[in-house]
């Protein structure tokens, strides 16, 4: 999952990036509203952490512009503690949730997890697909109740495919959502991860759709 952090406070931005990377997200940053708006407009993010008070373009305007242009990614707004008007304006502008500063990093992480989950249509922290069960929060995967060991890259690929199951996900989409801007994007890497992943999960879980990408089909659903 790839997250954009738009925050002009350098310390806070660093802390957010460190915590998000620790939690397994790919992270891009912008430190003013214009750059943030541009990135959110041109790159496919799974969620955005957006500060309200930003130089060059305030967070509310950035959000309004995105929503006007049909950009629907989940947005978590960072508001100042006492500015209740920011919260109201933010929600009116299309924010999905907000956290007031100063906040505990754990709260931001929990709210982001919930936003990403809801955006993919899941209500719980666990996604199940036949014998495979993936615990998003704990970063654990079991097959028929037995834990399997995945590298963080393998986990990210499986998580993304399970989040978006029953539809075809292209290699490009996987690359765009799993890595930040600075990553050397070679779609062969994805093939390697999927290949390794297939040796650890039931062999028929991840389907290759020739020329299009990969798909995980919920048992009982007709592909």
Residue 56 beta carbon to Ca ion: minimum distance, rounded to whole angstroms? 12
Structure tokens that stand for 221 in this block? 């659903």
Structure tokens that stand for 110 in this block? 């929990």
Residue 155 beta carbon to Ca ion: minimum distance, rounded to whole angstroms? 33
Residue 8 is a binding residue for Ca ion (CB under 5 A): yes
Residue 53 beta carbon to Ca ion: minimum distance, rounded to whole angstroms? 4
Whether the CB-CB separation of 161 and 214 falls below 8 Å is answered with yes
If the CB atoms of residues 59 and 213 are measured against Ca ion, the closer one turns out to be 59
Interface with Ca ion (CB under 5 A), residue from 46, 51, 96, 159:
51
Residue 36 beta carbon to Ca ion: minimum distance, rounded to whole angstroms? 11
Whether the CB-CB separation of 167 and 215 falls below 8 Å is answered with yes
If the CB atoms of residues 24 and 53 are measured against Ca ion, the closer one turns out to be 53
Q: What are phi and psi of 81, to 5 degrees?
A: -45, -50
Other CB atoms within a 10 A radius of the CB of residue 155 amount to 19
Binding residues for Ca ion, total number by CB under 5 A: 3
Stretch that binds Ca ion, among 37-45, 47-55, 67-75, 120-128 (CB under 5 A): 47-55
Stretch that binds Ca ion, among 8-16, 114-122, 186-194, 196-204 (CB under 5 A): 8-16
DSSP letters, 127-153, are: EEETTEEEETTTTEEEETTEEE---HH
Q: Is the peptide bond before 4 cis (omega within 30 degrees of 0)?
A: no
Residue 86 is a binding residue for Ca ion (CB under 5 A): no
Residue 62 beta carbon to Ca ion: minimum distance, rounded to whole angstroms? 12
Residue 171 beta carbon to Ca ion: minimum distance, rounded to whole angstroms? 37
If the CB atoms of residues 19 and 114 are measured against Ca ion, the closer one turns out to be 19
Residue 64 is a binding residue for Ca ion (CB under 5 A): no
Whether the CB-CB separation of 164 and 120 falls below 8 Å is answered with yes
If the CB atoms of residues 53 and 130 are measured against Ca ion, the closer one turns out to be 53
Q: Which residues contact 131 (CB under 8 A, 6 or more apart)?
A: 143, 144, 202
Residue 53 is a binding residue for Ca ion (CB under 5 A): yes
Give the C-alpha distances (Å, rounded to integers) separating 128 from 136, 209, 218: 11, 21, 9
What span, in angstroms and rounded, lies between the C-alpha atoms of 123 and 212?
28
Residue with the CB atom nearest Ca ion in the bound state: 53
If the CB atoms of residues 51 and 86 are measured against Ca ion, the closer one turns out to be 51
Rule CB under 5 A: which residues touch Ca ion? 8, 51, 53
């Amino acid at each position: 999952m790839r997250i954009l952090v738009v925050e002009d406070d350098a310390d806070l931005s660093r802390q957010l990036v460190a915590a998000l990377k620790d939690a397994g997200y790919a992270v891009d940053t912008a430190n003013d509203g214009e750059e943030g708006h541009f990135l959110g407009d041109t790159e496919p993010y799974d969620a955005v952490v957006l500060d309200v008070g930003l130089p060059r373009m305030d967070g509310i305007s950035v959000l309004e512009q995105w929503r006007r242009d049909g950009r629907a990614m989940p947005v978590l707004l960072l508001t100042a503690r006492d500015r209740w008007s920011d919260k109201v304006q933010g929600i009116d502008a299309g924010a999905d949730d907000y956290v007031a500063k100063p906040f505990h990093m754990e709260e931001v992480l929990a709210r982001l997890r919930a936003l990403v989950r809801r955006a993919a249509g899941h209500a719980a922290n666990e996604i199940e697909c036949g014998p495979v069960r993936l615990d998003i929060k704990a970063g654990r995967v079991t097959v028929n109740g037995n834990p399997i060991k995945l590298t963080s890259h393998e986990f990210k690929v499986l998580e993304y495919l399970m989040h978006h199951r029953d539809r075809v996900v292209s290699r490009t989409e996987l690359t765009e959502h799993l890595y930040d801007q600075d990553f050397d994007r070679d779609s062969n890497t994805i093939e390697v991860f999927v290949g390794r992943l297939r040796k650890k999960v039931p062999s028929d879980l991840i389907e290759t759709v020739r020329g299009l990408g990969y798909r995980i089909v919920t048992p009982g659903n007709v592909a």
